[in-house]
Amino acid sequence: MAARMTGRAVTEVRPLSATLAEVTLDGGQVVMVKRQDAPGGIAAEAAGLRWLGQAEAVGVPAVRGHDGRWLVTDRVPAGRADGPAALRFGRELAALHAAGASAFGSPPPGGPADASIGLAPMRNVPGDDWPSWYAEHRVLPYLRRAVDDGTLRPAESAAIERVCERLPELAGPAEPPARLHGDLWNGNVLWGADGRVRLIDPAAHGGHRETDLAMLHLFGCPRLDEVLDGYAEAAPLPAGRRDRIPLHQLFPLLVHTVLFGRSYATQAVVAARRTLAL
């Protein structure tokens, strides 16, 4: 696969998981080869990486080739998360968001509307109003599936439905569509040996910039306070952002409820109740 997409012979393959391998090419270059079977997943990821890269803000690995199931990208030599790298990451993330998108929910140019986040389907449907778009296309589809699957009890869904009803008053100041990574948990943040972060595995779309930041809070990020300092230095955040973190975490928590089960359902209900208590 790597040889076909890069035009260079493969000299070594080191599997890292069932779907990811580190491949050395003739001449010594190392690339990552990833397989994903979700419909539209690889096409969406490749388009997302290119779209994020076009912002010339946060680094992303170059895409060397892809087809319906396979993606080949450059490897990111590993470094460590230190203060200067964290501040730089924050500033670059702000610049990525500021690059914008044509609408909330807009897919990357050339990317499919039917994409994925992890192994869950994610449909990119453009909208002009963030509160109604977030409720209809990011929260409610996963809430309905979690209830249908029996992972989240119908009585528990009431708090999340109430958040959706009150979103216009809970969402904070209106913001233009930001260019989001869309799945910004720590595992998708690679601290490079050159002192610069690279982002991988995007579920890129037009969204609210606080959603990416809430993902960093949810699953942890080294030196997060310094990342946020760098971000605020480049693009000050509106008042009340920290209070809105649970609101923006509802989407990834419900995705994880659908994929991984009951413990995330409990967290989603807690996030909804915290949001309603504002």
Check whether 3 has a pLDDT greater than 90.
no
pLDDT mean over 197-220: 97
Q: What token pair was written down for 84?
A: 């200067």
The CA distance from 142 to 163, in Å, is 14
Which of the residues are catalytic? 183
* Coil, strand or helix at 222: coil
Among the residue ranges 32-36, 142-146, 262-266, the one predicted with the least confidence is: 32-36
State residue 39's pLDDT score: 74
**How confident is the model over 185-210, as a mean pLDDT?**
97
Tally Cβ neighbours within 10 Å of residue 83: 12
pTM: 0.95
Across 63-72, 79-88, 224-233, least confident range: 63-72
- Band of residue 1 on the pLDDT scale cut at 50, 70, 90: low
* Region of residue 118 (left: phi > 0; alpha: psi -120 to 50; beta: else): left
Task: Report the percent of the chain where pLDDT is more than 90.
Answer: 88
Amino acid making up residue 41: G
Domains of the chain, start order: 78-276 (3.90.1200.10)
Please report the pLDDT score of residue 199 as a whole number. 98
Least confident of 1-10, 141-150, 199-208: 1-10
